[in-house]
Structure 1
Amino acid sequence: MSPSAGRRFRAYTTKHLDELTARAGLSAEERLAVRAVATVLPFRVNTYVIDDLIDWDAAPDDPIYRLVFPQADMLPSEDVARIADLLRREAPRKELNEAANEVRARLNPHPAGQMELNVPKIGNEDPIPGVQHKYAETVLFFPKQGQTCHAYCTYCFRWAQFVGDADLKFASSDIDQLVEYLHQHPEVTSVLFTGGDPMIMGEGVLSRYIEPLLGIETLESIRIGTKALGYWPQRFVTDPDADDTLRLFEKVVESGKNLAFMAHFSHPNELLPDLVHEAVRRIRDTGAVIRTQAPLIRTINDDPATWETMWRTQIRMGMVPYYMFVERDTGPQDYFAVPLGEAYEIFRAAYTKVSGLARTVRGPSMSATPGKVCVDGVTEIAGEKVFVLHFIQARDPELVGKPFFAKYDENASWLFDLEPALGATHFPYESAPPADASELVTPTRL
């Protein structure tokens, strides 16, 4: 069993960063640069990750270390130098915050229009806080008490939720509004609890959000997006309310609804500890289905063998591989992004090595403003090299499943880097340009 099994949760934050990075062998200047990055982007880790997952003899190159510890070159060098200088001369907190906020504002803190485009209303009232309704059948709910995690991934696209800026937070503590909205929208069959990490909440708080949904007949599934299995499996085994949490899961299943546990695993090393295997077994025994997903991240899991190992291990443990995502266009995307052509080859190479049971996985998938776009391949049509793409999900349901094409670009790493192919003037999700060439404008990108 894990050395940290049974221990109370303890978090390490930026105030511990200098000590921890010294353990990784970083020099004083290197540690200062890391602290500068952590002034802009969030940092949080815990005893389990420190003691059970990171190989300190391999740090700072160890993949789990890189998953949770900021890297000096994650931000533009001039920004790092400026903030490092402020730290060096112990500048006032206000000045430091202003500099950090300037950098954050350039990092697209809310990709896919999540603060503006997806927020539903009840009747003519104000938008419901903490609720997104991007696809007809799926609603996302951000519980207020779930707006942190057991540890933060350095690549997290929800980083803006964790930096302490109230204007960047998106959350709600009012489940009654969501219930009312669901009654008014029977087309919604699935609710996804996300954040942050909903499993940071104790059972008492979690049940106050989940139980009111069990009586909604039109609701077929409840999903919980979480990294807890990777970063704090004690939550389901040795934490004081672990058994109560599992009984709550059983109650969801007994109500006739599917409980989908959306587990985020970024590297096979997160699957090694016995404690993770026990946590997975206990969750599955409740009747919940564990589906796995993660983004493709440069320097951490950007090779086929890593994904093959991860998917094979997940199948043996009874989990269902679900998504390989493309790193979103936010935060330090330039540092972590893998070009789409390379991403497809990594996915395909891993996919060819696993059995059909693991081929439930979809990818590489971009969760972009118009929907989830999957890169199906690279081919040549009429002498033109193209990406073959399709929507797994879309704001416009008519787009789902229909292939479309983009010019091949070896440097493109996101949907909006691409251009239409084969003589098309716009993508299916874009407005058509005017017929009069004299009025030609750049097509609208949602």
Structure 2
Amino acid sequence: MITNGHSDFSVQNYKPYTLRNFREIPQMEKLSEEEKFAIEVVGSVLPFKANNYVIDELIDWDNAPDDPIFILTFPVKELLKDEHFNTMADLIRSGASKNEIKAKANEIRLQLNPNPAGQMDHNVPQYHKEKLEGIQHKYRETALFFPSQGQTCHAYCSFCFRWPQFVGMKDYRFATREIEKLIGYLRENPQVTDVLITGGDPMVMKAEILEQYINPLLEADLPNLQNIRIGSKSLSYWPYKYVTDRDANKTLNLFRKVVDSGIHLAFMAHFNHPVEQETAIVKKAIQNIQQTGAVIRTQSPLLYKINDHPDIWAKMWQQQVQMGIIPYYMFVVRNTGAQHFYGIPLERAWHIFREAYQQTSGLGRTVRGPSMSAHPGKVQILGVEEIHGEKVFVLRLIQGRNPDWVDRPFFAEYNPDAIWLDDLKPAFGRSKFFFEKDLKKSQSNKVRSV
């Protein structure tokens, strides 16, 4: 039995804040009416949810609305382009009906690339001629599983590339309760060694629900299943889940059960700023998870106004190593939603990564980045160089739809304004990047079949 140190921390009741009740937050008094109205306007298009932990423990309200955690969770005006913001603002001011507002919001949402990197068209596998809507299989060794009860979060990140499923766009939602089909798919695809349980956030589920997904995986005794990963922001947004919540011990014991079965449990934590890993409760939650034998790895996108400075990343990684956590990925923010606001030029992203990397010891240099999770795979920016008088980006694929693409360096013309792979062109007069011919062929067969 795991003891969680419950007596050292008071029990907290989770209280969500959405557009319906955010004005009830006492700290809202620090904002102007114009800033509150902007939250309503942007929140009518992009998802918004915060909670009492984020409000009371993470946001520096004396610095709002410029505080990084405030920007991270609240829908600030800049998250919409001016024309979109003004359209929605005029509609709301005119007293338009909910249906009219929703219809216009959906028009705008469809202009924000709600399906980045071919998630709907190219990542969904088939099992016995049936599309498995709650599974994605992009990379050979790893299958993503989306439990239907985990398709929300304790609070929403305003940069999230899965934002469409939080605003009622059902055609862009991944979810399934059918663990049996996942197990069948894994049996017939022995190359899959890793299952990533993701969402939303699977750790919004009670332990007894999470057990209904994990126990069958353990009982199936799949010889190819080596690693179970859980992608979660819960350590940042609700660490009480592992300390004082009613099912904290049950959750931790489930983690230990996975480890004791001989399967590696990787907790893929999302930390976007050092403040998220500095509270006493999150430090205790981290310790409790580590005591189960699970290993915590961390990842985050590089975000304008949130963490776009090397000292912030160096501090995050240094703290993580001290806590026994493994820095894993620095991502480039995806080409969806509010990319126009959060996006960082690729050259600057590389400089931020390099300068932060230089400040860490070898123990922190497990991190890879900056990496774009693009259609062909995870594309890492290795640097900017001059080759035969031509300034170029040096790139490689850390992961690829075709495993043979991995770790092959390639080159793109220098573009100081590029913020995504689509902004780059092949260098040295080439018409295509080396992977594009094979990628085009694969697009004619939109789903992977057993």
CA 1:426–1:212 in 2, change beyond 3 Å: closer, same or farther? same
User: Does the C-alpha gap of structure 1 residues 327 and 419 become closer, same or farther in structure 2, counting only changes over 3 Å?
Assistant: same
Relative to structure 2, which stretch is displaced further, 75-84 or 175-184? Answer: 75-84
Q: CA RMSD in A?
A: 2.0
Distance between the aligned counterparts of 2:362 and 2:120, measured in 1?
Answer: 38
1:13 maps to 2:18: yes
Are 1:322 and 2:315 matched, yes or no? Answer: no
Residues 259-297 of structure 1, C-alpha deviation per residue, up to 9 Å, x if partnerless?
Answer: 000000000000110111100001001000000000000
Amino acid at match of 2:35: E
Q: SS of the counterpart of 1:343?
A: helix
Return the alpha-carbon distance in structure 2 between the equivalents of residues 4 and 28 of structure 1: 36
| Distance in 1 separating the partners of 2:104 and 2:10 | 40
Q: Distance in 1 between matches of 2:191 and 2:144?
A: 14
The alpha-carbon deviation at position 82 of structure 1 amounts to: 1.7
Q: What residue in structure 1 maps to residue 3 of structure 2?
A: none
Match of 2:113 in 1: 108
Letter in 1 for 2:359: K
Write the letter of the residue equivalent to 1:387: F
Q: Secondary structure at the match of 2:307?
A: coil
1:225 matched to which residue of 2? 231
The residue number in structure 2 matching 1:141 is 145
Give the 3-state SS of the residue equivalent to 2:20 in structure 1.
helix
**Secondary structure of residue in 2 paired with 1:116:** helix
| Partner Cα separation in structure 2 for residue 101 and residue 330 of structure 1 | 14
Distance of aligned partners of 1:285 and 1:128 in 2 relative to their CA distance in 1, 3 Å threshold: same
Does 2:215 match 1:211?
yes
Partner of 2:437 in structure 1? 431
Report the 3-state secondary structure (helix = DSSP H, G, I; strand = E; otherwise coil) of the residue aligned with 2:126.
coil
Measured after TM superposition, the shift of residue 25 of structure 1 is: 3.2
- Scaled by the length of structure 1, the TM-score of the pair is 0.94
Q: SS at 1:57's partner residue?
A: helix
Residue type of the partner of 2:362?
A: G
The equivalent of 2:279 in structure 1 is 273
Aligned residue for 1:151, secondary structure, equals: coil
Shift of 1:21: 9.4
Show CA shifts across 1:172-210 (max 9, x none): 111111011001111100000111000000001101111
Q: Deviations over 1:308-342 (max 9, x none)?
A: 00000000111000000000000010100000000
Q: CA deviation at 1:167?
A: 2.0
Query: In the aligned structure 2, how far is the partner of 1:405 from the partner of 1:27?
Result: 48
- Residues 21 and 330 of structure 1, relative CA distance in 2, 3 Å threshold: farther
1:5-32 residue CA offsets vs partner (Å, 9 max, x unmatched): 4111111111123454972633223322
Instruction: Give the match's secondary structure for 1:114.
Output: helix
Give deviations 1:122-145, integer Å, cap 9, x for gaps: 12x220121001011110001100
Structure 1 residues not aligned, in runs of 5+: 433-443
Q: How does 1:316-395 map to 2 (within 5 A)?
A: 316-395=322-401
Amino acid at match of 1:276: V
Does the 8 Å CA contact 1:17/1:35 hold for their aligned counterparts?
A: no
Aligned partner of residue 195 in structure 2, secondary structure: strand
Secondary structure in structure 1 of the residue aligned to 2:340: helix
Does structure 1 residue 178 correspond to structure 2 residue 167? no
Whole-angstrom CA distance in 2 between matches of 1:118 and 1:211: 25
Deviations 1:42-80 (A, max 9, x none): 000001001111111111111111110111121121221
Describe the shift of the 1:303–1:2 C-alpha distance in structure 2 as closer, same or farther (beyond 3 A). farther
Shift of 1:89: 2.9
Distance in 1, Cα, partners of 2:292 & 2:77 = 43
SS in 2 for 1:14: coil
The letter of the residue matching 1:177 is: K
Structure 1 stretches of 4+ with a deviation exceeding 4 A read 1-5, 19-22
User: Which residue does the alignment assign to 2:420?
Assistant: 414
Aligned match of 1:286 in 268, 292, 299? Answer: 292
1:20, 1:409 → 2: CA distance?
44
Asked if structure 1 preserves the Cα contact closer than 8 Å seen for 2:30 and 2:61, the reply is no
- Structure 1 residue identity aligned to 2:370: P
What SS does structure 2 have at the residue aligned with 1:145?
helix
3-state SS of paired residue (1:185): coil
Q: Distance in 1 between matches of 2:329 and 2:255?
A: 23
Match of 1:199? 203
- What's the CA shift for 1:426? 0.8
* Secondary structure in structure 1 of the residue aligned to 2:385: strand
5 Å matches for 1:78-97? 78-97=83-102
In structure 2, the CA distance between the partners of 1:174 and 1:25, relative to structure 1 (3 Å rule), is: same
Name the residue aligned to 2:161. 157
Q: Distance in 2 between matches of 1:420 and 1:44?
A: 41
Partner of 2:319: 313
- Against the structure 1 CA distance between its residues 50 and 3, is the aligned structure 2 distance closer, same or farther, given a 3 Å change threshold? farther
Change (3 A) 1:238 1:210: same
CA change 1:5–1:14 in 2 (3 A) is farther
Deviation at 1:4, TM superposition (A): 8.5
- Deviation of 1:3 after TM superposition, in Å, equals 11
Structure 2 CA distance, aligned partners of 1:272 and 1:3? 17
Q: Which structure exhibits the higher relative contact order, with contacts defined as CA atoms closer than 8 Å and separated by 6 or more residues?
A: 2
Contact 1:54 1:62 in 2 (8 A): yes
Structure 1 residues 154 and 2: alpha-carbon distance in aligned structure 2, compared to 1, 3 A threshold: farther
Cα distance in structure 1, aligned partners of 2:372 and 2:83: 30
Paired letter, 2:125: P
For these two proteins, the number of residue pairs brought into alignment is 435
Cα pair distance change 1:74/1:296, threshold 3 Å: same
Aligned in 2, Cα 1:304/1:146: closer, same or farther, shift over 3 Å?
same
**TM-score normalised by the chain length of structure 2:** 0.94
CA distance in 1, matches of 2:331, 2:214: 27
Mapped to 2, the partners of 1:108 and 1:24 lie a distance apart of 35
> In 1, Cα distance between the equivalents of 2:357 and 2:402?
29
Which residue in 1 is equivalent to 2:127?
Answer: 122
1:219–1:258 Cα change, 3 Å: same
Distance 1:333 1:5, change over 3 A: farther
Aligned to 2:80: 75
Find out whether 1:235 has 2:241 as its counterpart: yes
Residue equivalent to 2:68: 63
The answer (yes or no) to whether the contact 2:31–2:64 under 8 Å persists in 1 is: no
